Amino acid sequence: MDDPYLQSVRTAKLAALAHAIRIVDDHGDLNHRYQALIDDSQVVLDSNRIWLTQARGLVKRLVVLAKAANETCWTRALPRRTGSSGPDSGSGTKSGAPRGADVSDGGGRPSIAGSS
């Protein structure tokens, strides 16, 4: 097994991450410190390849930025869900997740898929 500290990843594979950071930048109500995190992240993403650990750090930055962004950021930037899978469809729970699904991280906060 390769040492994860020595693995690199092409930044082209991180297009979704770059897009998410742009959404927070465009719609978030962030102070200069958070804006500096966005600027630093964009500088890192402008290179061809980065270390895998750098990519993980960018994801963690995105989580911090998303939490810091004004709640109205998400209502403006993300499309509303419609159809039978929404929270008002009658199937599932108040959160819109299927009954029995784990939607919190144990501390009462929503969890993010793939995070630990």
Question: pLDDT tens across 23-37, in order?
Answer: 999 988 889 999 999
The residue among 29, 41, 39 whose CA lies nearest residue 68 is: 29
State pTM to two decimals: 0.60
* Domain-wise residue ranges, the chain: 4-76
Give pLDDT < 70 ranges for the chain. Answer: 1, 71-116
The per-residue pLDDT for 12 is: 95
- Exposure letters 74-87 (e unless 16+ CB within 10 A, then b): eeeeeeeeeeeeee
How far separated are the first and last CA of the chain, in Å rounded?
Answer: 21
CA distance 51 to 8: 4
pLDDT of residue 81: 66
**pLDDT given at position 4:** 73
